[in-house]
Amino acid sequence: MNDAPRQKIAVGDLLKRLFVRLGILPFLLIIAVIVFTLLSENFLTTRNLTNVLRQSVYLTIVSAGQMFALLTGGFDLSVGTVLALSSVVGALVMASVYGAMPDAVFLAISLGILAGVAGGTMIGVVNAVGVAYIGVSPFMMSLGMASVGFGVALYLTGGVPVYGMPVEFGDIFGFGIWFGIPVPVWIAALVVVVLYILLNRTVWGRYFYAVGGNAKAARLSGIPVRRMLFATYVLCAGLAALTGMLLTARLDTGEANIGASMPLESIAACVIAGVSLRGGIGRLENVVLGALFIGLIQNGMNLARIESYLQTVVLGALLILAVVADQIRLRFVASLKD
């Protein structure tokens, strides 16, 4: 008679410990897969899952950069603007060089990519100076630069998409396939591997966590806090700028209006993956899964023919749920310690 209640308690305790150890992401993944598999028979097909992987590449790279900002106790609301500015600058330079020298295709592509990444990264440099050396809050600094960068992108284009880039640019970086895997996936994998080594195999990686955990204690320990904060926002913008060029190759145009949802989506991917808004806590591999989860959610809602407006509502609700779950998880951790 008493076996059933005991089994329920045991299962509940197991779920609680799994939640404390793994966070909410595995539970959300399981629920999402079950729900969307029931809603659409095409959801679990190889073709669709490959498409999810390809579409999640852009969010994955931006979220990896956003994670560094969150680790150090801040966040970057200008990543969407960085995407747009890098797309516009890169496309303008690439189209200009290609128009002047039609035979110098790879020179045009190289200069365009360099210009786009450099232009977008400059937003991060300004953010870094403001946050690290002037002491402006990351919220106000990145919010202000988001407006500035968006205005510059619109001024450069007049709101009109930029055309005239070499076809090879899109063929390689937008639709190219190496060994059966899309080129953007290879690039994202390389970025993740390099960042993983940086975070987990170098002293600089420990510095990022230390600054977010306790900046004052980190400073007293001899860690160059300002330098780490500077590197954080430059790195975050650089990764967003790289993503902007990859999206430009995919769209085959330079757009001043891309990336508007990237700040929300990148923060959501990190928070859902267990990166703490207080700083100092988070794992890169979980952030990659968080970005894939959001891509999975968007894909599943598209297959279920859910309107785009409602998709924004769902994404915002997931972010709130993740923050609430993080608070509950911290209380569970405290109770287990007691």
Q: pLDDT of 86-132, one tens digit each?
A: 999 999 999 999 888 888 889 999 999 999 999 999 999 999 999 99
Read off the pLDDT of residues 72-81 as tens digits, 9 standing for 90 and up.
Answer: 989 899 999 9
Residue-level pLDDT at 1: 47
Return the structure tokens found at 67. Answer: 């994670």
pTM above 0.85, yes or no: yes
Residue 160 lies in a domain: yes
In this structure, is residue 18 part of a structural domain? no
- Return the amino acid letter for 41: E
Longest Cα separation, the chain: 85
- Specify if 36 maps to a domain: no
Question: Are the C-beta atoms of 262 and 57 separated by less than 8 Å?
Answer: no
Q: What is the 3-state secondary structure (H, E, C) of 204-229?
A: HHHHHHHHHHCHHHHHHCCCCHHHHH
Whether 306 is covered by a domain: the verdict is yes
- What sign results for the dihedral spanned by CA atoms 314, 22, 34, 37? positive
φ, ψ of residue 182 in degrees (nearest 5): -55, 140
- In 3D space, the residue among 83, 69, 75 whose CA is nearest the CA of residue 120 turns out to be 83
- Domain with 289 in it: 54-337
Mind giving me the DSSP string for 177-208? EETTEEHHHHHHHHHHHHHHHHHHHSHHHHHH
Question: Is residue 48 in a domain?
Answer: no
Q: Tell me the two tokens of residue 91.
A: 């496309």
- CB distance 62 to 235 below 8 Å: no
Could you read off the pLDDT of 44-64 as tens digits, one per residue? 888 888 888 888 999 999 999
Query: 109: closest CA among 68, 64, 170?
Result: 170
> Considering only CA atoms, which of 328, 335, 338, 299 is closest in space to residue 19?
328
Q: Could you tell me which residue, 28 or 152, shows the higher pLDDT?
A: 152
Q: Could you tell me which residues come within 8 angstroms of residue 125 by beta carbon, excluding any fewer than 6 positions away? A: 233, 234, 237
Helix (H, G, I), strand (E, B), or coil: what is residue 130?
A: helix
Cβ atoms 297, 32 nearer than 8 A: yes
Res 159: pLDDT:
80
Cβ–Cβ under 8 Å, residues 19 and 332:
yes
**CA 185 to chain centroid:** 14
CATH number of the CATH domain containing 84: 1.10.3470
Question: Is residue 34 assigned to a domain?
Answer: no
Q: Is the torsion defined by CA of 184, 185, 190, 195 positive or negative? A: positive
Amino acid (1-letter code) at residue 38: L
Residue 25 is predicted with a pLDDT of: 80
284 touches 57 (CB < 8 A): no
Which tens digit of pLDDT belongs to each residue from 152-205?
999 998 888 888 899 999 999 988 888 888 899 999 999 999 999 999 999 999
15 assigned to some structural domain: no
Residue pLDDT, tens place only, 195-244: 999 999 999 999 999 998 888 898 988 899 999 999 999 999 999 999 99
Rounded CA separation 79/82 (Å): 5
Instruction: Say if 9 falls within a structural domain.
Output: no
pLDDT score of 8 more than 60: no
Q: How many domains is the chain built from? A: 1
- Give the amino acid at 219: R
pLDDT for position 19: 65
- Neighbouring CB atoms inside 10 A of 21's CB total 10
* pLDDT tens sequence across 11-27: 666 666 666 666 778 88
Evaluate whether 238 touches 79 at the Cβ level (below 8 Å): no
pLDDT at 279: 83
